[in-house]
Structure 1
Amino acid sequence: MKFVDESIQVEACESALGIQKVAELDDDGKPRRTGNVWTASAHIITAVIGSGVLSLGWAMAQLGWIAGVATLLVFSGITLYTSRLLVDCYRSPVTGKRNYTYKEIVKNNLGETMCMACMVVQYALLCGVLVGYTITASISMVAIKKSNCFHQRGHEASCSVSYSPYIIGMGIVEIFLSQIPNFHKLSMLSVVAAVMSFGYTFIGIGLALAKVISGKGEKTTLTGVEVGISISAADKTWRMFRAFGDVAFSYSYTPILVEIQDTLKASPPENEVMKRANTVAVATTTTFYLMSGCLGYAAFGNNAAGNMLTGFGFYEPFWLVDLANACIVLHLVGAYQVISQPVFSVVESWAVRRWPKSEFVTKECNIGSGKHSCSINLFRLVWRSSLVMLATFLAMMMPFFNDVLALLGAIGYWPLVVYFPIQMHIVKSKMRTRTWSWLGLQLINSICLVVAVAAACGSIQGMNKSLKKYKPFNVKE
C-alpha cells in the first residue's frame, strides 16, 4: 500500500511539473513572451531616437521653418499610419498563426518574389546601420577626447584624434553583447539605451535653448539656407534632398517592428498593444525631433552643424558636452543590439533548418549556475562575432560610410515603411481598386517614392564628394 501511495505521489508530481512546463510556453510552443506596451515602446524609441536627432537642426537649416516643421509632422504621421497597418498582419486572420519576422508577413501576404525583395532591402539596410552606428559612436568618443583638449588648450588648438582605436573598442564591446540570445533578453538593455537617448537629447535641447535665451542665436529664415555667394541653387537643392532623406530615415524603425511585436504577451491582443506602443513611441520621438530641430536651428541658424554635440557648436560647459556624448555612446551600444537581432536570427534559423543534428549549431552550453548562469552556443558565438568584426572593419575602412548609410536609408524607407505595409493591407482587406481609400493609399505611396528617389540622388551627390578625398583606414579628425 505504501508503494502504491508513493507511486501516486510521483505521478502527481510529474503531472504537476508537466503542467508547469506547459504553462511556461506560449501557444506556438516557444517560451512564454512577457513584453508589454512599455517594453515595446522602449525598443522602438531605442531604435528610432539615434544621435541623428542632433542633426535635425542642420536639416531644418536646409528646409527652413515652414518646410522643416511640415516635413517632420508629415513623416511622423505616415510612419504611424503605415506601422499600424503592419502590426495587424502579425497573426493570420484565418488560422491565428504568428508571423515572427517582417519577411514572413510579406511572404504570406504578397508571395515569395516580394519576400526575396523585402529580405534584400531589409538586411542590407540593417547591416548598413550597424556600420553607421559604429562610426557614430566612435565620433562621440572622439568628441569627448577633443572637448577635454579644447578645454585645456583653448578652442583654437589642434586636437586631431584618430577614430580607429575607438571603432575597435566599440566592436569589442558589441562582440560580447551580441551573445545575448534574442529580443526577449534585451528589455533591460533597451530601457537603459532609451534613457540615454532622452539624456543627450535633453542636454542638446537645453544647451540650444540657453543659447537662444542669451540672445546669441544666429540668423534663421522661413526658407532655410539662402542661395548666394557661398551656396548655389544646385547645392541648395541637393541639400534639401539630403534633408528629406535624413528626416525619412529618422523614422525608419519598421524593419524591426515585427520582431519587437513578437516579444509581446498574447493577452491583450498583440496588435492592440503594439498600436499603443507605436503611438507612444512616435509621439515621443516627434516631440523630441521638433524640439531638437527647431531649437538647434534657432541657436545656430543657417550655419547649423551636422551634429550640434560632436560638431562643437558648444564648447562649454565641457563636462556637460562630455556627458551628452557619453550618453550617445551608451545609447548606440544598446541600439546596435536592437538593430542586429533580426540579422542574427535569420542566419541562425536557417542554420538550424539546414543542420538540425549538428551539435555545433544546436547545442547550448550553460556557464555558471542559478540566476547568474548564461547559455553559449558555438555557432552563435562564431557567426555573431564575425558579423560584428566585419561591421567594425568596414567602419574603419570607409570614413564616408555615413553617406552610404544615407543612401541605404533613402532606398529602404519607401519599400519597408510605406510600400509593403500598404500593399499587404490592400490584399488583406480585399480592397477594390480605384476606390477613394485605394487612391488615398496610392497617393501616399507615390509621394514617398518621389521623396525617396530625391533623397537617394542627394546622398549619391554627397558620396561623390566624399570619394574625392577618400583615404582607406584614415579616419581622423
Structure 2
Amino acid sequence: MGTEAPNSGAVVVNKDSTNQTAPPAKLDAGDLFVLKSRGSWLHCGYHLTTSIVAPALLSLPFALGLLGWGGGVVCLSLSALVTFYSYNLLSLVLEDHARRGTRQLHFRAMANDILGPGWGKYFVGPLQLGICYGCVISCILIGGQSLKYIYLVARPNGSMQLSHFVVIFGGVSLIMAQMPSFHSLRHINLVSLLLCLAYCACTTAGSIYIGKSSDAPPKNYNISEVGINRLFNIFNAISIIATTYGNGIIPEIQATMAPPIQGKMFKGLLVCYSVVITTYFSVGISGYWAFGNQVMPTVLSNFTDNGKYLLPKWFLVITNIFVLVQVSAVSLTYLQPTNVVLERRFADPKKDEFSTRNLVPRLIFRSLSIVIATTVAAMLPFFGDIMALLGALGFIPLDMVMPMLFYNVTFKPSKRSLVFWGNTIIAVVATVLAVVGSVASVRQIIIDAKNYRLFANV
C-alpha cells in the first residue's frame, strides 16, 4: 500500500505482489471526498464538455465580427487545434506520473512536482482558484440575466431588478453546491452536454431564420474600426476565443477517473471536442452571417430589435431556459477546486464523509462560498469585463503555456525535435497573447467604467 505526503495532491502508490497498483492508504480530505476516482472515460467526457462548452460561446459571433471572416474562422480553428493538443499533452504528463507511481490529482501538485516547490503554492494554485471562482461568479450572473430575460418576456413592464434574479439563481446554486463530489456531477453534466447542444441548435436556427427574414439587418461584414482601435479589437477577439476554449481543471477532471487511467482522457477529449466543433462553429458562423458587424457581445441580444422580438416568444424562452439550466451545471463544475480547498482545510479524513463532523462544515463553508459569489455577481453586473481580464491572465497560461512546459520538462524531447520547438513556440505566443489580451481587457474596463454602478439593473 502507498502513502501520501500531507496536502501534496500527489498520491504515491506501490505495486502489490500481483503487480497491480494498490489503492493509496491515505488522502487529504479534499482529495478523498471531492476528487473520488470512480469515473469512466465517458464521465470524463461529460465533465470536459461542461467545463468548456458554456454560454460564453454565444460571444463567438461578436469575436468573428471583430476579426472578419478569414481571421475569425482561422482563429477559431487554431484555438481548437491548440487546446486539444495542449489538453492531450497535459493528460500524457499525468499518465506518465501515474505509471511511475505518483498520481497527480490537481494543477497545484503538478506544478510543484514538475517545476519545483513554490510554483503550485504561489502561482498555479492561486491562479487556478481565482479563475475558477471567477467562473462561478460569472455563471451566477448569467443565470440571473437569463431569469430576468424570461421574466421580461412574460411581463414586459415588470419591476423586478437584475439583482433579484441573481439572488434567486444563487439560492438554487447554494442547494446544488452540496453535491458531495466531482464524480457525483456525472449525470448532471450529461444533461448539461445535451442542453448545450440544444441551446446552440436554437441559436443557430434562430440566426439563420432572422438572417433570411424580411426583418434581417443589412449584412455588412466590413471591419469599421481603424488604427489602434482595430488593433485592440483584434486582440480582444483573440482573447475572447482563446478563453472560450479555456478549461483550467484538466487534472481535477482526470482525477475523477478510476485507475488505470491510461488512454481514457483522450477518449473523453474526443467526446468533448465533437461537441465543441459542432457548437462553436455553428453558433459563430451563423451568428456572424446573420448580423454581420452589428452582432452584439452575446448573439441572443440580436434576437430583439428595439423591444421587438424577431422570433416567437416561446422560442426565446425555451432557448434561455436551456442556457439557464446548463449554466448551473457549469458553475458546479468550476466550484470543485474551491471545494477541494475547503474540504482540505475544514474536514477530517479520518471521519466518515457524511458524519456530523464533516457534514456541518461542508454545509456552512460551501454555502458561504456561494453567498459570496452571489453577492459579488449582484453588486458587479459588469463582471464580464473583469472576467475577460481574469481569463487572459488565467486561462491562457494554464491551458496554453503550462502544459507545454510540463511536457518538455517531463519527457525532455530533443531540442532539435519538432515537438520541442512546437511546444516552445505555442508557449511563447500564448504568453504574448496573455499579456496583450490583459492590456486590451484593462483598456475595455477603463472605457466602460463610466457606465459602472453597483447593483445596476442592466
TM range (shorter): 0.7 to 0.9
Q: What's 1:472 paired with?
A: 454
Partners of 2:401 and 2:284 in 1: how far apart?
Answer: 27
Q: What's 1:7 paired with?
A: none
User: Shift of the alpha carbon at 1:426?
Assistant: 0.9
CA contact (8 A) 1:310 1:325 kept: no
Pick the aligned partner of 1:251 from 245, 264, 287: 245
CA contact (8 A) 1:146 1:160 kept: no
Q: What's 1:5 paired with?
A: none
Partners of 1:444 and 1:87 in 2: how far apart?
Answer: 17
Q: What's 2:14 paired with?
A: none
Partners of 2:335 and 2:22 in 1: how far apart?
Answer: 25
- SS of residue paired to 1:179: coil
User: Shift of the alpha carbon at 1:363?
Assistant: 6.6
Q: What's 2:3 paired with?
A: none
Q: What's 2:90 paired with?
A: 86
Pick the aligned partner of 1:124 from 119, 130, 151: 130
TM-score (norm 2): 0.86
- SS of residue paired to 1:306: coil
> Is residue 2:188 matched to residue 1:189?
yes
User: Shift of the alpha carbon at 1:201?
Assistant: 0.8
Structure 1 residues 401-410 or 194-203, which shifts more?
A: 194-203
Partners of 2:274 and 2:394 in 1: how far apart?
Answer: 22
CA contact (8 A) 2:150 2:317 kept: yes
- SS of residue paired to 1:457: helix
Query: How many residues align structurally?
Result: 423
Partners of 1:236 and 1:115 in 2: how far apart?
Answer: 37
Percent of aligned positions that are identical: 24
Q: What's 1:60 paired with?
A: 64
Q: What's 1:309 paired with?
A: 300
User: Shift of the alpha carbon at 1:140?
Assistant: 1.2
Matches within 5 A, 1:296-375: 296-313=287-304, 315-352=310-347, 364-365=354-355
User: Shift of the alpha carbon at 1:159?
Assistant: 6.8
CA contact (8 A) 1:90 1:271 kept: no
Unaligned runs of at least 5 residues, structure 1: 1-24, 151-157, 367-374
> Is residue 2:458 matched to residue 1:460?
no
Partners of 1:177 and 1:238 in 2: how far apart?
Answer: 39
Cα distance, 1:336–1:96 mapped onto 2, change above 3 Å: same
CA contact (8 A) 1:138 1:166 kept: yes
Partners of 1:312 and 1:442 in 2: how far apart?
Answer: 43
Cα distance, 1:62–1:84 mapped onto 2, change above 3 Å: same
Unaligned runs of at least 5 residues, structure 2: 1-20, 26-31
Q: What's 1:272 paired with?
A: 263
Pick the aligned partner of 1:393 from 375, 378, 396: 375
TM-score (norm 1): 0.83
Q: What's 1:424 paired with?
A: 406
Describe the superposition over 1:186-219 as per-residue Cα deviations: whole angstroms up to 9, x where unpaired. 1111111222111111100011122234473632
Q: What's 2:113 paired with?
A: 108
Q: What's 1:219 paired with?
A: 219
Partners of 1:218 and 1:115 in 2: how far apart?
Answer: 51
Partners of 2:329 and 2:236 in 1: how far apart?
Answer: 27
User: Shift of the alpha carbon at 1:237?
Assistant: 2.5
> Is residue 2:191 matched to residue 1:198?
no
CA contact (8 A) 2:128 2:394 kept: yes
Structure 1 residues 296-305 or 86-95, which shifts more?
A: 86-95
Describe the superposition over 1:141-190 as per-residue Cα deviations: whole angstroms up to 9, x where unpaired. 1111223345xxxxxxx777510111101111111111111111111111
- SS of residue paired to 1:98: strand
Partners of 2:190 and 2:418 in 1: how far apart?
Answer: 41
Cα distance, 1:65–1:177 mapped onto 2, change above 3 Å: same
Larger Rg computed on CA atoms: 1
Partners of 2:234 and 2:137 in 1: how far apart?
Answer: 25
User: Shift of the alpha carbon at 1:62?
Assistant: 0.7
CA contact (8 A) 1:130 1:336 kept: yes
Partners of 2:353 and 2:409 in 1: how far apart?
Answer: 41
Cα distance, 1:423–1:363 mapped onto 2, change above 3 Å: closer
Partners of 2:446 and 2:172 in 1: how far apart?
Answer: 32
- SS of residue paired to 1:226: coil
Alpha-carbon RMSD across the aligned residues, in angstroms, is 2.4
User: Shift of the alpha carbon at 1:364?
Assistant: 2.7
Q: What's 2:388 paired with?
A: 406
CA contact (8 A) 1:143 1:310 kept: no
Pick the aligned partner of 1:242 from 230, 236, 242: 236
Partners of 1:33 and 1:65 in 2: how far apart?
Answer: 43
> Is residue 2:131 matched to residue 1:164?
no
- SS of residue paired to 1:181: coil
Q: What's 2:12 paired with?
A: none
The code of the aligned residue for 1:337 comes to: L
